[in-house]
Structure 1
Amino acid sequence: MNKLSVMLTVIVGTLLTLTVKAQTKTDYYPGKWNVLVMGTPNGDSKMTFVLERKDGKLTGAVQDSTGKELTKITRVDEKDKTITAAFTAQNYDVTLTLEPVDDDHVKGSLMGMFEAKGVRVKETEQIRK
């Protein structure tokens, strides 16, 4: 009887732990992302995406390497782990699709044609600049 009690306690504890981990999902995309789009007609392009969640939706802006805002992100579509951000670049409406590689890296494409990769800007990196 004592072994059965211990075994049931271990099983229930394991199930509770798994349930708690499933509910503590973090919001992956909000923050600052340095993104490199490779192979565009004008060469490789470096941009910084500043994303935040407002009223349950992702929104943000695109900045140049100096931190100057280039354009607002007009729409962000979220599907599973992937996002597609729409914005205007050089008078063209474009979309950038990103998906996680690991905790701090993303990969994707601009307009489905140009490969993109990005890295999360950590707070300590922002302070140093």
Structure 2
Amino acid sequence: MTGKRKYKTKGVFYTKKEAKLAADEVEKKINNPNFLDNENITFGEVYERWIANYKLTVKESSFYIIEIQYKSKILPILGNKKINQITTIECQDLVNYWYSIPLKNYKVIFNLVTRIFKYAKQLKIVANGSHVISYYS
């Protein structure tokens, strides 16, 4: 995007063949048009992808309500965090915070967060075995 090259390191290899296989795998991922740098993608970026698709499936009024909830309650807290670094404890603390405000519809907002994690799982941005994903499944 910026025109600058990004470099990727991949551990220590004991043979040239091992290094070549790893390099081929990384190159294949990068050349894939759907490639996302999973290590640096934020919750907000996944949300932007999800909301663009969601908008096509619901009425404008429903979309507007959901978008307001995300922008006011979820994105200020989780938006800039890397999605694969959000922990189960952070999520539980967030739910506890919403409950303590008191926020009457905290369960609805929790379900909205769940949608983003499930979407990230579908896109393979987060691993199936991720502790946060298992929390939401």
Is the structural similarity TM-score above 0.5?
no
Structure ranking higher in helix proportion: 2
Q: What is the TM-score of this pair, normalised by structure 2? A: 0.28
* Structure of greater relative contact order (alpha carbons < 8 Å, 6+ residues apart): 2
More strand per residue: 1
Normalization by structure 1: what TM-score? 0.29
